[in-house]
Structure 1
Amino acid sequence: MVQYNPKDWITFIFRFHKSDTFRKLFPLMIFIGIYTYGVGYLELEYWKLSEKNHLSNITVMHGMLGFVISLLLVFRTNTAYDRWWEGRKLWGALVNNSRNLAIKLHVILKDEHDRSYFEKLIPSYASILVKHLTNKETSLQLFDDVHLQIDKHTHHPNQVAKMIFQKVNDLYEQKKITGDQLIILNAEIQSFTDICGACERIKNTPIPYSYSAFIKKFIFFYIMTLPFGYVFSLGYYAVPVVVFVFYVLASLELIAEEIEDPFGFDANDLPIEKIAANIKKHVEEVF
C-alpha cells in the first residue's frame, strides 16, 4: 500500500509512481498521438477537407456521448472503491474479533498450556486467510469453464476455524469453561468464517463481464473518432488534446480495475499481510 502525504500537491503533480497510470498507458498514448496525427494529415493535407465538410460536425456526437461516458466511469470507479473499502472493513473486523477472542480466552482460561495453544492458533487464521485470498485459484472458483487442481475439501481457513472451535468445545467438555462462556466464544469464532466468506465474495465475483467489456469498447471507439472532428478546429494541436482525453478516460478504468480486487499485490491493494502481522503482535501482547 502506497504511503503518501495527501497535502503534498507538488509530489502528486510532478512525481510518477511505479503504479501511476501514466507509466502503464504511455505506449498507448504514443499510438493514439500517431493515429491522431495520421488522421489530421489525411484530412488536412491529403484529402484537403474544409471546415464545411459534414465530418467536422462529428464533435456534436462527442458532446452528447461525453456526458454518458462520464456517468459510466463514475459508477465504475464508485463500485470498485466500494469493494476496496468493504475489504478494508472486513479486515478491520477480523482485527477486532481476534483481539476480543484473545482477551476473553485469556481471562477465562487458567491453564498456561491452553493459553499457549490459542496464542499460536488465533493469529494463524489471519495468516492462512492472507494466503487463501492471494491465491489465484481462489478468484476462479465460480467460473464454469475453469478446471481447478485444488482439493475442494482442504479449505485452509475452515480447517483453522475448526481447530479453534474443537479446542473450545473440548474445554467445555472438560468443564474448564461454562455453557454461557461457550456461547460467548462461539460468536467470535463464527465471525471468522463470516469474514472469510465475505472476502471470498469480493475475490471471486468480479464486475460483470458485459459491463466491463462495454466500457472498454465505448472508450476505444470514443477516442478513435475524436480526431476526425477536432482536427478541423484545432489542426495538429488535436494530437495532445486527444492523447490527454484518452489518458483521463483510460486512467479511470485502470484505477477501477486495480482496486476492485483489493486482495492482491498491486501498490494500491490492501496491506493484508501487514494487518495479519499486527494481529499476531496484538494477540501475543494479550496472552
Structure 2
Amino acid sequence: MIVRPPLHWLRMLFVLRGSVLPRITPQLVGITLFAALITLAHGRIGDWKVSLNFVPFSLIGLTLAIFLGFRNSTSYARYWEARTLWGSVLNETRSLTRQALTLVHDRDAARQLAFRLCAFVHALRHQLRGTDAGPDIALFLDTAGAARLQAARFKPAIVLLMAGEWVGEQVRGGRLAPSLALPMESSLSLLSTALGGCERLAGTPIPFTYSVIIHRCIYLYCVLLPFGLLDSIGLMTPVIVCFIAYTFFALEALSAEIEEPFGEEANDLPLAAMSYMIESTVLEMVGEPPRTAAPAPQGFIQT
C-alpha cells in the first residue's frame, strides 16, 4: 500500500506510483489509436459508413455507471472490512498482553503469551498471502512450538489454541483466577472471529459474472464510441475517447485491485507494516524489542 503526504494538485496529475495507469496503458493506447484510425477514415469501414449518435452512448453510459458504482462500492467494502478486522487484531493483542501483565503478575509468563500473539499475527499474514510463515514464526516460538506449527495446515488457528492453552495453564497453576480468565477468553474469541473474517474475505471473491459483464460492456462501449462522436467533434474524437476510456478502464482496474485486500499490489493493505506495528507494540509492553525486520522506507509502506 502507498502512503504519502498530500501532494500538490499539479504533481497529483502526473503521479504513476500507486495509480492504475501503468496497468491500463496498453488498453488505453490501443483504444486511442483505434479512435484515431476511425477519425482518419471518417467513420467508414470499407464502403460502410457507421452512423451513430450520442443517444445510445448516454443510455449505455448510465448503465455502466451503475455497474461500476456497484463494483467499486463492493470492492471498497471488502477492503474496509479487511482493515477493520486487522484493527481488531491490534486491539485484542494489546488487551491480552495488558491483561497478562496486570492479572498474572509474572512478566516471564506474559512474555510467553506476547510471543505467541506475535506468531499469530505473522501466521495470519502469511496464510492470507499464501507465503511461508516458518522463518517469522521461528522468531517467537521454541523448537517444539515451531515444529507443532510447521505441521499445521491452519497455522493461525493453532497459535490461538496455544494462546488458549497458556490461559489454561495459568488458571490451573493458581496464577490466574477463573473469573479473571473470562476477559482473556473473550479477547481470544474476538481474535478467532477476526481470523474467520479474513479467511472469508480471502476465500470468497466477488462473483465472476460481475467482472465479465462490466469488462465486456466497457470494451464494447469504448470501441463503438468513436463512431458516435466523430460527426459531432471531429478531430477531437481520439482525445475525448481516450479520456472516457481512461475513466472506465481505471475504475475497473481499481475495483479489481482492492477486491482482494490481502494481495501485494500497490493499493492493497500493508500487511507487512501492520504486522510489524502490532509486533512492536505488543513486545514493547513486555520490554522486548521487535524481532522481525522493519518494513517501509519513509513514504512507501510495503504490503
Tell me the TM-score normalised to structure 1 length.
0.87
- For residue 108 of structure 2, what is the aligned residue in structure 1? 113
Q: Distance in 2 between matches of 1:255 and 1:183?
A: 43
CA contact (8 A) 2:52 2:227 kept: no
Deviation at 1:74, TM superposition (A): 1.4
When the two chains are superposed, the root-mean-square deviation of aligned CA atoms in Å is 2.2
- For residue 144 of structure 1, what is the aligned residue in structure 2? none
% same residue = 26
Of 30-39 and 192-201, more deviation after overlay is shown by: 30-39
Q: Distance in 2 between matches of 1:120 and 1:74?
A: 43
Q: Distance in 2 between matches of 1:124 and 1:46?
A: 63
Distance 1:121 1:47, change over 3 A: closer
Residue number among 67, 74, 84 corresponding to 2:69 in the alignment: 74
Q: Displaced runs of 4+ in structure 1, greater than 4 A?
A: 44-49
Structure 2 residue 158 is the aligned partner of structure 1 residue 159:
yes
Amino acid at match of 2:118: P
Deviation at 1:125, TM superposition (A): 0.9
Distance 1:154 1:198, change over 3 A: same
Deviation at 1:227, TM superposition (A): 1.4
- Alignment deviations for residues 61-95 of structure 1 (CA, whole Å, 9 cap, x no partner): 10111111112111211111111111111111111
Higher RCO, Cα 8 Å, sep 6+:
1
List alignment gaps of at least 5 residues for structure 1.
Answer: 138-150
Deviation at 1:206, TM superposition (A): 0.9
Deviation at 1:133, TM superposition (A): 0.9
Distance 1:10 1:179, change over 3 A: same
Deviation at 1:44, TM superposition (A): 5.1
More helix by share: 1
Deviation at 1:274, TM superposition (A): 1.3
Deviation at 1:265, TM superposition (A): 1.1
- For residue 129 of structure 1, what is the aligned residue in structure 2? 124
Q: Distance in 2 between matches of 1:119 and 1:200?
A: 23
Deviation at 1:47, TM superposition (A): 5.7
List alignment gaps of at least 5 residues for structure 2.
Answer: 133-149, 287-303
CA contact (8 A) 2:78 2:201 kept: yes
Deviation at 1:41, TM superposition (A): 3.5
Pairs within 5 Å for 1:31-110: 31-43=30-42, 55-110=50-105
Deviation at 1:198, TM superposition (A): 0.4
SS at match of 2:206: coil
Amino acid at match of 1:88: R
Q: Distance in 1 between matches of 2:233 and 2:67?
A: 27
CA contact (8 A) 1:262 1:269 kept: yes
- For residue 148 of structure 1, what is the aligned residue in structure 2? none
Structure 2 residue 202 is the aligned partner of structure 1 residue 203:
yes
SS at match of 2:2: coil
SS at match of 2:51: helix
- For residue 12 of structure 2, what is the aligned residue in structure 1? 12
- For residue 257 of structure 1, what is the aligned residue in structure 2? 256
Q: Distance in 1 between matches of 2:269 and 2:96?
A: 24
Deviation at 1:256, TM superposition (A): 0.6
Q: Distance in 1 between matches of 2:242 and 2:159?
A: 52
Distance 1:72 1:93, change over 3 A: same
- Alignment deviations for residues 28-55 of structure 1 (CA, whole Å, 9 cap, x no partner): 2221122122323344577687xxx7x4
Amino acid at match of 2:238: V
Report how many residues are paired: 269
- For residue 140 of structure 2, what is the aligned residue in structure 1? none
SS at match of 1:20: coil
Amino acid at match of 2:4: Y
Amino acid at match of 1:5: P
- For residue 175 of structure 2, what is the aligned residue in structure 1? 176
SS at match of 1:165: helix
CA contact (8 A) 1:56 1:230 kept: no
Q: Distance in 1 between matches of 2:279 and 2:29?
A: 48
SS at match of 1:215: helix
Q: Distance in 1 between matches of 2:233 and 2:263?
A: 43
- For residue 277 of structure 2, what is the aligned residue in structure 1? 278
- For residue 147 of structure 1, what is the aligned residue in structure 2? none
- For residue 3 of structure 1, what is the aligned residue in structure 2? 3
CA contact (8 A) 2:38 2:44 kept: no
Of 1-10 and 269-278, more deviation after overlay is shown by: 1-10
Deviation at 1:2, TM superposition (A): 1.1
Deviation at 1:204, TM superposition (A): 1.4
Amino acid at match of 1:190: S
Amino acid at match of 1:269: D
Q: Distance in 1 between matches of 2:273 and 2:93?
A: 15
Deviation at 1:180, TM superposition (A): 0.5
Q: Distance in 2 between matches of 1:87 and 1:5?
A: 23
CA contact (8 A) 2:94 2:281 kept: yes
